[in-house]
Structure 1
Amino acid sequence: MAKKKQAPQEVQGDTVLQQTLALFSHDDLLICGVDEAGRGPLAGSVVAAAVILDPARPISGLRDSKKLSEAQRDALAVEIKEKALAWAIAESSVEEIDQLNILQATMLAMRRAIEQLSITPELALIDGNRCPVMAVRSEAIVKGDDKVPAISAASILAKTARDHALLDLHQLYPDYGFDQHKGYPTALHLARLQQHGVTPVHRKSFGPVKALLA
């Protein structure tokens, strides 16, 4: 039986489900999985994806995108887009991250992805322990990207989309090594920041970037 809808909150943090509940309690509902990529980097947008899988067209090999090779992710991303009932990718910009903070910007990107689906789901299963505020009912699942296939699919789409976006940033700012670290605070990235300074695509509210600006 579906749970009673909760009253909206700025960020809901009390809807964490056990794996069994997530996998078996909502078979009668149209479900989308939702995940993000890029909360930790010092540069670039945070990207979210939402996916409604087609039970009649199963996809083998879905799991947490971080546990897949780049080649596996790219191949699965193509298959997901071909076989899913609906999918969407959205983002929150660097400016929105600095204005809202990374948590709220991530929630915004997730909500945008869900709202851009061509089919409106009855329930959104969100990776993590918080849900965005939106019209669609949502429930959070800790480590859902390795438990729920629809969330795994969303994880793969978000990760591949963001990685490709960082390759584009590398073309604009070749001195920073975005093609290697994808914006994360690696030793290489921090050294290049020290050497070349802060770009418009860096998150100015993040500690290492803020320190350089100060």
Structure 2
Amino acid sequence: MSRWPPRSPVRRAAGLRTFEFALHRQGLGPVAGVDEAGRGACAGPLVVAACVLKPTQLASLADLDDSKRLTEKTRETLYQSVTRYAHAWSAVIIDAAEIDRIGIHVANIEGMRRAVAALDVTPGYVLSDGFVVPGLTAPSLPVIGGDGAAACIAAASIIAKVTRDRIMVAMDADLPGYDFAIHKGYSTALHMSRIDAAGPSPQHRMSYRNVAARVVSSANDDRDRLTG
């Protein structure tokens, strides 16, 4: 990871474009932002997106913010604008089986590397949301709360969130009975009750304790019924 460029004036008046403007003034563009959706879910994929915005501020992207702070309708509208006007963007999908095999944190970091590598342009600098990402081909900086602090990360968060939500809605049709379209694979009371009733699906992350505990509980219940 490279240090923040020296003598780079950061003008807070630039809002979410502050980091990108400072890096461009140092000749370090294009600037890519990278973020994920689904890290905290216990079912479905992890989706990691990268995005490079054009240096000019577009009115159509004025509402950019952390995707979690936006309504579903606003996210969908911004997704259309970001994917249309961005200089480059990519989305990488890591399924539940790979998450179980390598672990969520490794999957997250690997997804960030893949997403940046999949961009149609080579970034001069990468801003990541919160995590140091070793192995990138460009210098990078982790930004705490980056999806609410840097426009390119906010754009990546919207791409990742909308892409994943669409996957979960489609999954709900393929695996009825889990209500994936409602909770999107997160550990809500509704979701846990569906696992208790039907058992985990192939899309559940078996390495997660709350899922694994329900497998053990279900097995014990079956044993008790057989021996009772």
Q: Which residue of 1 aligns with 2:222?
A: none
Question: If the length of structure 1 is used for normalisation, what is the TM-score?
Answer: 0.88
Q: Tell me if structure 2 keeps the 8 A contact 1:37–1:47.
A: yes
Count residues in correspondence.
Answer: 201
Residue 180 of structure 1 and its aligned partner are, at CA, apart by 0.4
Matches within 5 A, 1:1-214: 3=3, 22=19, 25-27=22-24, 28-29=27-28, 30-56=30-56, 58=58, 59-214=61-216
Q: Which runs of 5+ in 1 are unaligned?
A: 6-17
Residue 26 of structure 1 and its aligned partner are, at CA, apart by 1.1
Q: Deviations over 1:101-124 (max 9, x none)?
A: 100101111111111100010111
* Other structure's SS at 2:80 match: helix
AA partner of residue 26 (structure 1): L
Q: Specify whether residues 19 and 141 from structure 1 end up closer, same or farther in structure 2 by C-alpha distance, changes over 3 A only.
A: farther
Q: Deviations over 1:159-202 (max 9, x none)?
A: 00000000011011110010100000000000000000111100
Question: If the length of structure 2 is used for normalisation, what is the TM-score?
Answer: 0.83
Higher helix share: 2
Q: Specify whether residues 132 and 195 from structure 1 end up closer, same or farther in structure 2 by C-alpha distance, changes over 3 A only.
A: farther
Aligned mates of 1:213, 1:192 — CA distance in 2? 13
Q: Tell me if structure 2 keeps the 8 A contact 1:47–1:90.
A: yes
Q: Tell me if structure 1 keeps the 8 A contact 2:21–2:55.
A: no
Residue 94 of structure 1 and its aligned partner are, at CA, apart by 0.8
Larger gyration radius, structure 1 or structure 2: 2
Identity rate, percent: 37
Q: Tell me if structure 2 keeps the 8 A contact 1:57–1:83.
A: no
Ranges of 4+ aligned residues in structure 1 off by more than 3 Å: 2-5, 18-25
Aligned mates of 2:168, 2:23 — CA distance in 1? 36
Residue 136 of structure 1 and its aligned partner are, at CA, apart by 2.5
CA RMSD of aligned residues (A): 2.0
Residue 132 of structure 1 and its aligned partner are, at CA, apart by 4.2
Aligned mates of 2:199, 2:159 — CA distance in 1? 31
Residue 3 of structure 1 and its aligned partner are, at CA, apart by 3.6
AA partner of residue 39 (structure 2): R
